[in-house]
């Protein structure tokens, strides 16, 4: 907008020279109109300058490598005055930062959380001579999620516990235990054929597995390519465990210390992964230096599968 101000000042200087040289009513009228023009533009532009709002529209999450255009929209019922804004994009996972001035694609080449903040947002009158701070939406986040990367064959059967316990409330179960009937037991669970053979009331008691702690561990550090592999392998292993109906914990060493996320389903899995995408990387140390007790655990190193 500095160019418009320079053009206006040059025009005003020419009018002053014209007025000083001729001093006729037409030169006087032209000078007065040129002096009043910026104020007229400001009065006409003020409703749009004061009531409009700049909004940043991006999805909350998208797969890595997906092209996504950064879109800025200025909402106003009147004709939109000229405005200027720059968007600062930060990726905490890698510590990178970009400045985006025009509409362009978001940096989705690597997975990680993107924090977008609008800075130096200004709105001008229609002539571009006066500027005011612009109303804008709050900073937004977009999680660039990893894609699943298969790991070498794992013996996930070690996750399956060999201990069983009576299922609370009874009901359907794949495994049962036979025992003598006790007062208060449901007669619907009595094994009548076996009871007739033995002469005693035998009960089929539904059993459920007792699962011990399952742990998936990783260090949130390395190059962007290494982090892509680690998070992709984490996603694949998490989905594989959930397919086995196994609940587990994700333990990660980050720039904010050791973080632990319980995973009981797909929703909590994505909550844990999205939280990791917005955490700073660990600078030193490794989870290998902090042994944990678990019935089964896997350390994701980020190496490529053979």
- Residues 205, 82 within the same domain: no
Same domain, yes or no, for 128 and 67? yes
- Please tell me what DSSP assigns to residue 78: S
Report the pLDDT value the prediction gives residue 228, as an integer from 0 to 100.
93
Residue 151 lies in a domain: no
**Three-state DSSP class for residue 139:** coil
Say yes or no: 70 and 200 in one domain. no
pLDDT in tens, 94-128: 888 888 866 678 888 999 999 998 888 888 888 88
This prediction has a pTM of 0.71
Which of 118, 145, 172 is at the close of a domain?
A: 145
One domain, residues 7 and 131: yes
Nearest to 94 by CA among 188, 186, 226: 226
- Per-residue confidence (pLDDT) for residue 156, from 0 to 100: 61
Cβ atoms 266, 250 nearer than 8 A: no
pLDDT at 304: 61
Q: What is the CATH number of the domain that holds 130?
A: 2.60.40
Whether residue 31 is contained in a domain is answered as yes
CB atoms within 10 A of CB 246: 19
Query: Are 180 and 286 found together in one domain?
Result: no
pLDDT score for 306: 42
Cα separation, 93 vs 99, whole angstroms? 17
Query: Do 264 and 276 reside in the same domain of the chain?
Result: yes
Provide the pLDDT for residue 25: 72
pLDDT for 189 equals 75
Q: Are residues 200 and 258 in the same domain?
A: no
Q: Is residue 155 part of a domain?
A: no
Judge if 179 and 293 occupy the same domain.
Answer: no
- Output the pLDDT for position 168: 64
Mean pLDDT per segment of 10 residues, for the chain of length 306 residues?
A: 80 80 75 84 84 84 89 78 86 88 80 90 86 84 93 62 60 69 77 81 73 85 92 93 88 93 94 95 89 84 64
pLDDT at 225: 92
* 188 and 275 together in one domain: no
Q: Is residue 205 part of a domain?
A: yes
Same domain, 136 and 215: no
For residue 24, is it within any domain? yes
Query: What dihedral angle (degrees, nearest 10) is formed by the CA atoms of 56, 60, 63, 69?
Result: -10
Domain that holds residue 235: 211-300
Q: Is residue 18 part of a domain?
A: yes
User: Which of 98, 115, 145 is a domain's end point?
Assistant: 145
Count of structural domains, the chain: 3
Model pLDDT, residue 269: 95
Cβ atoms 297, 214 nearer than 8 A: yes
pLDDT at residue 174, rounded to an integer = 63
HEC sequence for 35-57: HHHHHHHHHHHHHHHHHCEEEEE
Statement to judge: residues 243 and 286 lie in one domain: yes
- Is 230 a member of any domain? yes
Residue 153 within any structural domain of the chain: no
Domain closes at, from 209, 232, 264: 209
- Clarify whether residues 16 and 98 are in a common domain: yes
């Amino acid at each position: 907008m500095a160019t418009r101000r320079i053009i206006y000042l040059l025009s005003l200087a020419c009018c002053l020279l014209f007025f000083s040289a001729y001093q006729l009513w037409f030169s006087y009228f032209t000078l007065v109109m040129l002096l009043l023009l910026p104020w007229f533009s400001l009065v006409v532009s003020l409703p749009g300058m004061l009531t409009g709002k700049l909004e940043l529209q991006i999805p909350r999450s998208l797969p890595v490598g997906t092209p996504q255009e950064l879109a800025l929209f200025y909402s106003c019922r009147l004709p939109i005055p000229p405005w200027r804004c720059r968007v600062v994009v930060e990726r905490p996972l890698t510590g990178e930062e970009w400045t985006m001035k025009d509409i362009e694609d978001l940096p989705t080449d690597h997975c990680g959380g993107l924090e977008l903040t609008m800075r130096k947002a200004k709105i001008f009158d229609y002539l571009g001579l006066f500027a005011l701070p612009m109303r804008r939406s709050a900073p937004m986040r977009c999680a660039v999620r990893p894609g699943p990367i298969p790991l070498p064959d794992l013996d996930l059967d070690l996750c399956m516990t060999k201990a069983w316990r009576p299922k609370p409330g009874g009901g359907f179960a794949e495994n049962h235990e036979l025992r003598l009937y006790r007062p208060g037991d449901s007669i619907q669970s009595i094994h009548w054929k076996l009871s007739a053979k033995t002469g005693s009331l035998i009960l089929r008691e539904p059993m459920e597995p007792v699962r011990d702690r399952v742990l998936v561990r990783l260090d949130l550090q390395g190059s962007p390519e290494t982090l892509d592999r680690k998070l992709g392998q984490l996603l694949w292993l998490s989905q594989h465990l959930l397919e086995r109906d196994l609940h587990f914990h994700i333990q990660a060493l980050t720039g904010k210390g050791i973080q632990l996320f319980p995973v009981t389903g797909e929703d909590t899995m994505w909550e844990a992964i999205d939280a990791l995408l917005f955490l700073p990387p660990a600078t030193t140390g490794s989870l290998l230096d902090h042994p944990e007790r678990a019935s089964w655990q896997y350390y994701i190193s980020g190496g490529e599968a053979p």
